[in-house]
Chains A and B, each alone.
Chain A
Amino acid sequence: QAQLMQSGAEMKKPGASVKVSCKASRYTFTNYALQWVRQAPGQRLEWMGWINTDNGNTKYSQKFQGRVTITRDTSASTVYMELSSLRSEDTAIYYCARRQGLDGFDPWGQGTLVTVSS
């Protein structure tokens, strides 16, 4: 069964950057796109962007354009999400999720809590 394992919790100061990793296993990495979704405390799910793991093409939400970068390392079956210029409102759980074909995100990583505080 496909699995996504994310890096551990991070605590950052405002203005800093954070880079979260998502390692895929038990499936062919380049056959599926990977998405990043975040959820602030008590808030809704928010789509951030996705990467074509085969060719590296990316698409980002307008909200995060210019602040988010999604990359992949095919040799390590790992996708990275870097968010810069952090502010307190970026405090959230960040999830990676595999897109199965055209639609449907499954499975999801366990989530990475990023806390932004001075």
Chain B
Amino acid sequence: QSALTQPASVSGSPGQSITISCTGTTSDVGTYNLVSWYQQHPGKAPKLIIYEVNKRPSGISNRFSGSKSGNTASLTISGLQAEDEADYYCCSCAGSATLPYWVFGGGTKLTVL
């Protein structure tokens, strides 16, 4: 049950696009289309922004999008805004389908320059 691998930090200027990768294994990201992404501002609880690889919850901007290829999932944020500066975590379902477990990534700090 190892953590998924994310870059420690990414940065971009307002208006630009950035992509955060999330690499797992054939036991998690590679098997399930159940990858979610969370945004966390300092001192706040995490907030769901993407689920089932590429679905957005109601109220989440379409500037956030998700995708997956093989064992790697990705989160893209387009049209960067200052309020996007936060930590981002990926999460994947893993293990058996009858009683699965979940695993988070190490987190990526996004800096908006």
Where the two chains meet, the residues of A that have a C-beta atom closer than 8 Å to any C-beta of B are 35, 37, 44-47, 49-50, 57, 59-63, 95, 97, 100, 102-106, 108-111
CB contact between A44 and one of B47, B51, B55, B105 (< 8 Å): that residue: B105
Known: A104-B57, A105-B91. A59 touches B101 (CB 8 A): yes
Known: A95-B45, A105-B38. A57 touches B99 (CB 8 A): yes
Instruction: Specify the chain A residue showing the minimal Cβ separation from B94.
Output: A47
- A37, A49, A62, A97, most chain B CB atoms within 10 A: A37
User: Distance (Å) between the CB of B58 and the closest chain A CB?
Assistant: 10
CB pair B89–A45 under 8 Å, yes or no, is yes
Residues on A with C-beta less than 8 A from B105 are 44
> What CA separation (Å) do A95 and B45 show in the bound complex?
8
A–B pairs, 29, beta carbons within 8 Å: A44-B89, A44-B104, A45-B38, A45-B46, A47-B91, A47-B101, A47-B102, A47-B104, A50-B101, A50-B102, A59-B95, A59-B99, A59-B100, A61-B101, A63-B1, A95-B46, A100-B51, A102-B93, A103-B34, A103-B36, A103-B51, A103-B52, A104-B36, A104-B48, A104-B51, A105-B36, A105-B46, A106-B57, A108-B45
Contact with A along B26-51 (1 / 0, CB 8 A): 00000000111010100001111001
Known: A45-B107, A97-B46. 17 other contacts (CB 8 A): A44-B89, A45-B38, A45-B40, A45-B104, A50-B102, A61-B1, A62-B1, A63-B1, A95-B46, A100-B51, A103-B34, A104-B55, A104-B57, A105-B46, A105-B48, A108-B45, A108-B46
User: Distance (Å) between the CB of B86 and the closest chain A CB?
Assistant: 13
CB pair A102–B99 under 8 Å, yes or no, is no
